[in-house]
Amino acid sequence: MTAVPDTVAPSVEERLDYLTTQVDELVMEMRRQRQAREQWGELTHELAPVARDAVDVVSREFQELSQDVTIEDATEFLRTLARSLPKMQGLMLQLDSLSELTSEVTSLAGAGVAKVSDSLAEAERKGYFAFARHGAEMVDEIVTSFSEEDVTALRDNVVLILNTVKELTQPEVMTLLNRTGVSLQSVQEDAGVEPPSVFALLRQMRDPQVRRGLGRTLALLRTVGEDAPALPASTSTTPTTPA
């Protein structure tokens, strides 16, 4: 048979040490509880006046409010508030969405304002605003320079004026005017040169271009010398006198 070892019982000193430890823990726990009670008592002592004042204020407010609002009114209000909670929640969600939309619009507006500022600065650099200012001054001068009769005559002959401008802006006419301007400039530069003789002019008459130009000049003079056709009644600028 196998011998069972005997268990060694704790000595008296070990038991006394264990009991001393337990007693120390109990004493510390009692001290903590006493400190907690003392702190709670101090807090209660400090809050008691505040609580009494708050109760007095609430009592006075309820006493004054009871003249206008009854318990039934307050109960009905609470019931209505409870029924409206889902709607209020939906409204809060809409407000959140609106806040996000406002944030997005603000960011886009900031970028748009920056783009507009850059465009305006570029327009100012190119001189658009200066042209607009001078253009406004020009329009003001034109308006103040024409009388009501002049404006009426302009209105009656605006079609004729536009047709004339249309004919003047044809490529052939513009080319002729350009050549004429260049020729006049060369003539002004040769102002100090001795004029050609009659025989030199007769020799130039042998040039086909000179003869062609002379023919066009004569045709122009013939057109200028013709009697002007009578204007229609709608385009006449001469005021009629009563019979």
Residue 3 predicted with pLDDT over 70: no
**Is residue 73 in some structural domain?**
no
User: How sure is the predictor about 141, in pLDDT bands with cuts at 50, 70 and 90?
Assistant: confident
Q: Please report the pLDDT score of residue 242 as a whole number.
A: 39
pTM confidence score = 0.30
State how far the Cα of 81 lies from the Cα of 43, in Å rounded to an integer.
36
**Is residue 227 in some structural domain?**
no
> 12-56 pLDDT, tens per residue?
788 888 888 888 888 898 888 888 888 888 888 777 788 878 877
**Is residue 176 in some structural domain?**
yes
Residue 170 CB-density burial (10 A; 0-12 exposed, 13-18 middle, 19+ buried): exposed
Cα–Cα–Cα angle for 8, 13, 19, nearest 5°? 105
- Tell me the H-state helices in 4-84: 12-65, 71-83
For the chain, what is the domain count? 3
Residue 64 predicted with pLDDT over 80: no
**Is residue 77 in some structural domain?**
no
For residues 152 and 131, membership in a common domain is answered with no
Quick check: 237 and 154 in contact, CB under 8 A? no
Quick check: 146 and 154 in contact, CB under 8 A? yes
Q: Domain of 102? A: 86-145
**Is residue 153 in some structural domain?**
yes
For residues 92 and 61, membership in a common domain is answered with no
More confident residue, 193 or 145: 145
**Is residue 50 in some structural domain?**
yes
For residues 141 and 90, membership in a common domain is answered with yes
> 84-96 pLDDT, tens per residue?
888 888 888 888 7
